Structure 1
Amino acid sequence: MAQIPLRQVRAVIAVCEEGSFTRAAERENATQSGISQHVAAVERTLGVKLFERTAGGVTPTPAGLRYYKRCVEAVGTLEQAAEEARSLGGQVTGELRIGLMPTFTRAVLAPVLEDFVPRCPEVRLHIVEGYSGLLTEMVLDDELDFAVVPAFEGTIGLKSRLLVRDREMLISGPKRGLPELKAVRLADIEPLKIVIPGPDNIRRRNLDTYFQSHGVAVAAMLEMDAMIATLEFVARSDWVTVLPSVISVNDIGGGELIVNPIAEPELSAEFVVIQPTRRVLSTQARLFLERFEQEVAHIHDVWDKAIGRKTMLRQRRA
């Protein structure tokens, strides 16, 4: 059987992921006619139609989608082999572009950098803070090596794996008068004046579902996709917000913000690492993620001890 050149395989991958010959050509630094010719050549070699062409773009046929998935696996294997060969050189070098939500930049990032930067001084590190929509688009556009975002349904061109399942916490200021670290039911918080993300945020949908499913009556709602402003407003007022435990660990015992675990039932959020389907993680990316996951696990240990210690003190007083 005739061999299909790698440039033709990459053209098929690009068209499938971009849904357009024009965008695929831009991505591959090629002409639209060149990409179209590559795809047509693959279709002739295979004897099967890979894409349905319409005025609105192109979509893969069932055969095209299956071929795309196999091609991505094959290209990934080649990139993995190249990365393993480079890693045998010993020193970790190169560029590393990471996207993180404010959930992780506030408490997780600094300890990771404190360890990672001295260990990998030759790595050119670039970190972007943003919310899930922006970071996902940047990964799809190959502007980031990976990003950490809330779990979602999935998109062609992206692969993901679970990073952490994190417990959500109620965050309030001293004016609200809640006892620190005591488990609370959101349905019992009256009046519930809450700052929440905007409707395009994945976490917002989870919160709305939780409110509706568990009889949580919201007296007032303020939409804000600005983490620092949210925390400062909550600290100064009797409003509250709901955030994952990893962002609030440094607030334990601080006095400016009061943190309470949400109970009956607990509320959790899942976060995933996303990266382009066609790429493998570099050595520097894997080292960063390993240290990142260690720090998240450490934060969970801190929370387990803090909540457990508070529970034991209440039991003794009772």
Structure 2
Amino acid sequence: MKLNQIRDIIATADSGSLRAAARQLGVTQPAITRSIRELERELGVPLFERHQFGMQPTAMGQVMLKRARAVQEELRRATEEIGQLQGEMNGEVRVAMSAISTFALMPPAVKSFRRAHPKAILKITESFYAPIESQLLNGEIDFFVGPFSDPGRGSRVMSEMLFKNERVVIVRKGHPLAQISTIRDLGDTEWVKQALPDRESEGDFERPFSQLGLPMPRIVMHTTSSTATLLAVANSDLLTSVPKQMLNAPVSSELFDVLPIREELDAAPICLVRRVDLSLTPLAEFMFDMFRRAGLQHSRKTEKDTTS
């Protein structure tokens, strides 16, 4: 197996056709066709199915692609790490993070990183853990910052908690229920819920109700984004539950009231998550530490605000 064959099957799968892959890589289409056929003969299985509208990986092709991407990422990391150890701090750091982590941690972490390594490139993906898990495991993403629960023994990832993730119930400014102080008095209300594609966070919305033995909230609107959720609440009498850090932006505090609910609305803690068996490049390790420091600063500020 040759490195150009790994490159070629990834490009073909990503672009969907031999012609597009050849154009992307700057080689001829017959060269890519020959490369893939040689690899298929070596493995003894077809890697792609030829369709009217392009090339689709077979089941065996999907297995090969998963391993090929991991190999490609390991080679990228190795090249960048060698350069960084020689003082060439101009590689990439790829981070996935939830919206709450972005609000609470990204500004100080990125500021410190950019000051120390202005030639490096940061690639930030906003996501929960579940949708990017495979990318983290195959090395396409260096680490994750966001809601995460202890994976238990035998997991391929390790995590460290940055801070507790407390939720609050919010309503628009001037809402008639703005002074409600217990979740028990919200039984007849209507809610908007952001659908979270993540097993760590999906139950956070309903959990306080189930813990108190209350009926589930009456959800009349579902969204797939934080922006749509906040806009819906700001322009209606709907309620929602969001992580407290969501309201750090000035525009949010002007549009919403936080209900003085006395019950604690806990959620999965915000954590740093990385692979157990994969060392980070020096640049990624530095960025990882900047998020760790940002988390510590956030925790200290939260404790100070609580006691003052």
Matching residue of 2:197: 202
Task: State whether residues 48 and 57 of structure 2, in contact with CA within 8 Å, keep that contact through their aligned partners in structure 1.
Answer: yes
If the length of structure 2 is used for normalisation, what is the TM-score?
0.63
**Alpha-carbon distance in structure 2 between the residues aligned to 1:164 and 1:155:** 12
Q: CA deviation at 1:61?
A: 3.1
**Alpha-carbon distance in structure 2 between the residues aligned to 1:95 and 1:220:** 43
Identity across matched positions, percent? 22
Work out the number of aligned pairs and report it.
271
Q: CA deviation at 1:86?
A: 0.9
3-state DSSP of counterpart to 1:287: helix
Task: State whether residues 96 and 124 of structure 1, in contact with CA within 8 Å, keep that contact through their aligned partners in structure 2.
Answer: yes
What does 1:1-318 correspond to in 2, within 5 Å?
A: 4-17=1-14, 20-55=17-52, 57-62=55-60, 64-90=61-87, 92-93=89-90, 102-123=99-120, 145-153=123-131, 159=137, 162-165=144-147, 166-173=165-172, 175=174, 176-178=177-179, 185=183, 188-197=185-194, 202=197, 206=202, 210=206, 214=210, 215-218=215-218, 220-221=220-221, 223=223, 225=225, 227=227, 231=230, 234=233, 239-248=238-247, 257-258=257-258, 266-268=266-268, 283-300=282-299, 302-303=301-302
**Alpha-carbon distance in structure 2 between the residues aligned to 1:25 and 1:273:** 36
Which amino acid in structure 1 is aligned with residue 202 of structure 2? N
Task: State whether residues 150 and 272 of structure 1, in contact with CA within 8 Å, keep that contact through their aligned partners in structure 2.
Answer: no
Which amino acid in structure 2 is aligned with residue 217 of structure 1? P
* Deviation per residue, 1:247-275 (Å, 9 max, x gap): 33578xx796426679687444888989x
Q: CA deviation at 1:83?
A: 1.6
| Cα root mean square deviation, aligned | 4.7
**Alpha-carbon distance in structure 2 between the residues aligned to 1:58 and 1:67:** 13
Q: CA deviation at 1:190?
A: 4.2
The verdict on how the C-alpha distance between 1:28 and 1:300 changes in structure 2, with shifts beyond 3 A counting, is farther
3-state DSSP of counterpart to 1:113: helix
* Deviation per residue, 1:176-215 (Å, 9 max, x gap): 3347xx7x54x64244343444x6x637x9379848x943
* Deviation per residue, 1:103-144 (Å, 9 max, x gap): 34433232223322322233466xxxxxxxxxxxxxxxxxxx
3-state DSSP of counterpart to 1:78: helix
The verdict on how the C-alpha distance between 1:97 and 1:162 changes in structure 2, with shifts beyond 3 A counting, is closer
Which amino acid in structure 2 is aligned with residue 13 of structure 1? I
Q: CA deviation at 1:42?
A: 0.9
**Alpha-carbon distance in structure 2 between the residues aligned to 1:22 and 1:156:** 28
Q: CA deviation at 1:48?
A: 3.3
Task: State whether residues 96 and 145 of structure 2, in contact with CA within 8 Å, keep that contact through their aligned partners in structure 1.
Answer: no
Gaps of 5+ in 2: 148-164
Which stretch of the first structure deviates more once superposed, 108-117 or 18-27? 18-27
**Alpha-carbon distance in structure 1 between the residues aligned to 2:169 and 2:24:** 43
**Alpha-carbon distance in structure 1 between the residues aligned to 2:67 and 2:223:** 43
Which amino acid in structure 2 is aligned with residue 34 of structure 1? A
